[in-house]
Amino acid sequence: MAPILEVKNLTHTYDASTPFRFDAVNDVSFSVEEGEIVGIIGHTGSGKSTLVQHLNGLLKPTSGNILFNGKDIWENPKAIKNIRANIGLVFQYPEYQLFEETVYKDIAFGPQNMGLLGEDLKTRVTETCQLLDIDFDYLEKSPFDLSGGEKRRVAIAGVMAMRPEVIIFDEPIAGLDPMGRKNVIKMIENYRNSFNATVLIISHNMEDMAQIADRLIVMNKGKLAKFDTTENVFSDAKFLSDIGLGVPAVTKIIDLLKSKGFNIEENILTIDDAVEALVKLKNGGNTYA
């Protein structure tokens, strides 16, 4: 089966005809399988946001192609609107784009534009709220009465209500408190699990990436520096730190223990992994002694 999303030799040049000419994305190729969660990490200015804005046709490649289910998304430029319904993009700070009088209207806005009406629309909104754990009491509230974290969730629900096959998030947890971060991560996992949707997430939070991503794309100065399983990417701490990134705090702790001579073989990415490995070590190699 063809990958759901394929990026082939994508280059995007800003200010091409000026002295400020700058390749924000430079010859990037990768493909994403249906149902995966792919994290995109990279220093500020590495081209992450420019890259993802191509994936639903908001930006046009200077050169290269984007294939969705094997077909070039620009094959028929007039049909780009259909692409945008199938590939959802959640911008940074999406709560700044809430504008309706009620939470209900805000969540309904996207599916309504796709032609959903009456009972169907109502069902879609309530189903989305159920799935994402958004209290029905919220639906009649003004989105502006909600806290920052709640607004963020409503804004994301508005995109999920369109049921895109692929959903892309640009820093969905930036600026949220720890509980807000957990809630958004849970929403994303729920959406993927319910619809076997494909998810791409840009984030600077290595701990959350370790938790949620199946594979990671590492961007550096406009180029794709690495695309591998999350485990493999985080096993090279030096490479990541050289390009301005890092590994999760638990991974650093375990690396320090390894350098102190403790015999831990596993690559540790999450607290669960670390607890398991350390308890096993304590019990002389058995996880349950």
Residues forming contacts to another protein in the complex (CB under 8 A) are: 42-45, 147-149, 171, 174-181, 204, 206-207, 241, 244-246, 248-250, 252-253, 256-257, 260, 262, 271, 274-275, 278-279, 281-282
Task: Spell out a b/e string for 185-213, using b for 16 or more CB atoms within 10 Å of the CB, else e.
Answer: bebbeebbeeeebbbbbbbbbbbbbbbbb
Give the shortest CB-231-to-another protein separation in angstroms: 17
Residue closer to another protein by CB (options 114, 174) is 174
Give the shortest CB-138-to-another protein separation in angstroms: 14
The SS3 call for residue 127 is: helix
Name residue 13's beta-bridge partners.
23
Residue closer to another protein by CB (options 97, 147) is 147
Residue closer to another protein by CB (options 26, 198) is 26
Residue closer to another protein by CB (options 130, 283) is 283
Give the shortest CB-267-to-another protein separation in angstroms: 16
**Composition of the chain by helix, strand, coil, percent to 5:** 45, 20, 35
Phi-psi region of 47 (alpha: psi -120 to 50; beta: other; left: phi over 0): left
Give the shortest CB-175-to-another protein separation in angstroms: 5
Residue closer to another protein by CB (options 165, 207) is 207
Give the shortest CB-18-to-another protein separation in angstroms: 13
Phi and psi dihedrals of 242, rounded to 5?
-65, -30
d(CA 225, CA 27): 11
